Structure 1
Amino acid sequence: MGYLFTILALCFALATAESPAVSKQYRSDYTYDKNTDSFYKMHTEQASTDRAHTTCQAEGARLMAPESEQDLALIHGMFKKFPDIGRLVLVDGNGAGHDEADEDEEPIINYGSGVGHDEADEDEKPIINLEGETDFDSRRKCEVVNREGQIESSICYFELPFICKVNAKDAPYNEECGTYSNDYVSKISLTGSCYRIARIKANWNEAYANCQAEGAHLAILNNEGEFEIVKGLIEKIPRSVEDWQFFVGVRAEEKKSPIIFKTVFNQTLEQVGYAPWDNNEPNNSFGIEYCVSLIRTTCKYNDTVCRNRYSYICEKERSV
């Protein structure tokens, strides 16, 4: 009888278990909500509205526009996880018809250049330069949501945390590369990997975390063939004065002598068997260069400062 009861209980549990649909995935740093069939991410770093838009875009998402009571309830819930980020977050909207945010709120003001950018060819996706972008217009209001889940309006150039959102239907799975991003280029037949050149700048740690969130890693050049593949991808990126270096998955432990560069898999370049350093590199200029980037003109390794902000290359390895 006890055995029969156990079987019946198991059948009931399986019948009432949540559908696999509730466990949809996007990036590992996004949370899925089955009621809205969408993914969300709270960015706790502060940004102006323009920078928030481009950051979400670089992640394949968009700045969240509250479209329902459920969206507002989700924001309220996210606030509870971050008690120290203040009382307001940026969202998308025109700010019309809402209360003004409190005057005692003192977000950081970004006095960047605000220079616009020409529209890129659809086949050429330029790197988004977040340095200097701004919403410096004292008359322009943007929507924010407070900790109580209420919509207010605030000056757009105020920097605040923000929320990115992507609908599940807009995040198709790339079967070949095993990603939810259409920005990955498949070179599986040649190297066994897919590659993505980020359209946003980041320091080395941020670049590492972004690739990891996509189930990938910062790219590593393992041989001459892979060097030529990555070089070809970089040559397709539209040139600008800012886009001259790209972080890769190699760095050294800081302030440790001798300096030993290792990959994100903890292999030395000698163990990898391929180390395409540019002329006179590595040189540890000023004694502070512990991370590695690719120079656009040569696509070869250069040691650089880890806190610098460059584009970066993610690699998603797949079986050949």
Structure 2
Amino acid sequence: MARAKYLFICLLIQSVLDFIYGQPQVKFFRDDYKYLETTRSFYKVHTIHRTWENAKRKCEMEDASLFYPKDQKEADVVLTYLKETQPSYPWVFIGISSKLAKGVFKTIDGLSIRQVYNKWGPGEPNDAGGDEDCVILRRDGTLNDDKCSKIYPFICKKTLASLKWNEQCNVPYMDYKYNEALGRCYKFHLNPLNWKDAFEACDSEDAYLAIINSQNEADYLVNITAEAPKDKVKGWYLRGAVHLGFSYDPSENGWRTITGETLDDAGYSMWGNNQPDGGEDEQCGSMFYNGFLNDISCEAQRCFFICEREIELLNNLSQESRK
């Protein structure tokens, strides 16, 4: 009887874990994406308008791609979804442009527009003004060329077939690594960005710029910084520091984490020598490679950065299974 009860508990725990972490099987990508069975893909309508390049970049940050319809069926399905969720939008940017060669329209993955959905509006494309190199999809299902510099809504897409799942960190991003002692997952980003863009990049991955809560966590961040292949990254960026999740709050006259705590309350406030020293020009936070804190410009300086994600539920389930 006791053995049967034990096996039942084990199976129950495993089923819960499978439900939570087996997201590809239950067709889940992110909670802000909608799965459409007809196309076996996930979609997100972005309501903050961006230029075509910034729209493409935003989708990539979410491990998705700027949507374009592959055929009439997908165009119909996605336009229906768009009309249901954003009925006032007359059009959206899609992942087709002639940026590489004037008048030669290609998808973001290199296909000729003739190989995919190719339903232009009357008289289009017309390259009005000589600078209409990006494509919009209208509510009536027709395509039109338009200026890439304009700001429009857009749709990101992730196919079910391309979905992989990081079970330890409960995210669709395989490069997050779980630290059992800290109960969190981390990713060292090797694409230098300024602090504000780094903040957005972490948020796009359902994470946040790392916050140091203890000396042990500081030591771990120093370690992953040391192990990252930083020297292989070319180009201009500030070496010697990585962006972290804290900044100066003028209303509080002090440094606070992005969750609103003072550094002392968060658990770590070890500044480098003579830091902070940048005054009004450096009001965002970073860490020297040796673990000490440093102030940095929020926009002018590009650095590596570390994203962090808590997985509290995993810890709770693990503790229950050991009881």
TM-score, normalising length: structure 2: 0.64
Measured after TM superposition, the shift of residue 146 of structure 1 is 1.4
Name the counterpart of 1:162.
154
Name the counterpart of 1:74.
78
The answer as to whether partners of 2:90 and 2:139 remain within 8 angstroms in 1 is yes
- What does 1:115-194 align with in structure 2 at a 5 Å threshold? 138=130, 141-184=133-176, 186-189=177-180, 191-194=182-185
- What does 1:1-320 align with in structure 2 at a 5 Å threshold? 24-68=27-71, 69-78=73-82, 81-82=85-86, 87-93=90-96, 94=105, 98-99=120-121, 100=124, 138=130, 141-184=133-176, 186-189=177-180, 191-198=182-189, 199=191, 201=193, 204=196, 207-208=198-199, 211-212=202-203, 214-221=205-212, 222-223=214-215, 224-232=218-226, 234-236=228-230, 238-242=233-237, 244=239, 246-257=242-253, 259=254, 261-283=255-277, 285-286=279-280, 289-294=282-287, 300-306=292-298, 312-318=305-311, 319=315
| CA distance in 1 between partners of 2:297 and 2:157 (Å) | 32
The answer as to whether partners of 2:126 and 2:145 remain within 8 angstroms in 1 is no
Measured after TM superposition, the shift of residue 70 of structure 1 is 3.9
Deviations 1:251-301 (A, max 9, x none): 3433333x1x23344432223432242333223523x64431345x65643
Q: Helix, strand or coil: the match of 1:92?
A: strand
Deviations 1:7-63 (A, max 9, x none): xxxxxxxxxxxxx98963223332222322211122334444444333322221111
Q: Helix, strand or coil: the match of 1:52?
A: helix
Measured after TM superposition, the shift of residue 197 of structure 1 is 3.6
Q: Give the paired residue count.
A: 262
Measured after TM superposition, the shift of residue 172 of structure 1 is 1.2
Q: Which runs of 5+ in 1 are unaligned?
A: 1-19, 107-137
Change (3 A) 1:31 1:91: same
Change (3 A) 1:241 1:210: closer
| CA distance in 1 between partners of 2:43 and 2:32 (Å) | 9
Give aligned-pair identity as a percent: 25
| CA distance in 2 between partners of 1:75 and 1:243 (Å) | 44
Measured after TM superposition, the shift of residue 315 of structure 1 is 0.9
Q: Which runs of 5+ in 2 are unaligned?
A: 1-22, 97-104, 106-112, 319-323
| CA distance in 2 between partners of 1:282 and 1:316 (Å) | 27
| CA distance in 2 between partners of 1:161 and 1:203 (Å) | 25
Deviations 1:49-87 (A, max 9, x none): 444333322221111121243444424543564567x63
Deviations 1:150-209 (A, max 9, x none): 32233445443322100122121111222101232x2524643322244484654x6556
Specify which structure has the higher proportion of helix. 2
What is the alpha-carbon root mean square deviation over aligned residues?
Answer: 3.8
Name the counterpart of 2:12.
none
Q: Which amino acid aligns with 1:238?
A: V
TM-score, normalising length: structure 1: 0.65
Q: Helix, strand or coil: the match of 2:60?
A: helix
Q: Which amino acid aligns with 2:185?
A: C
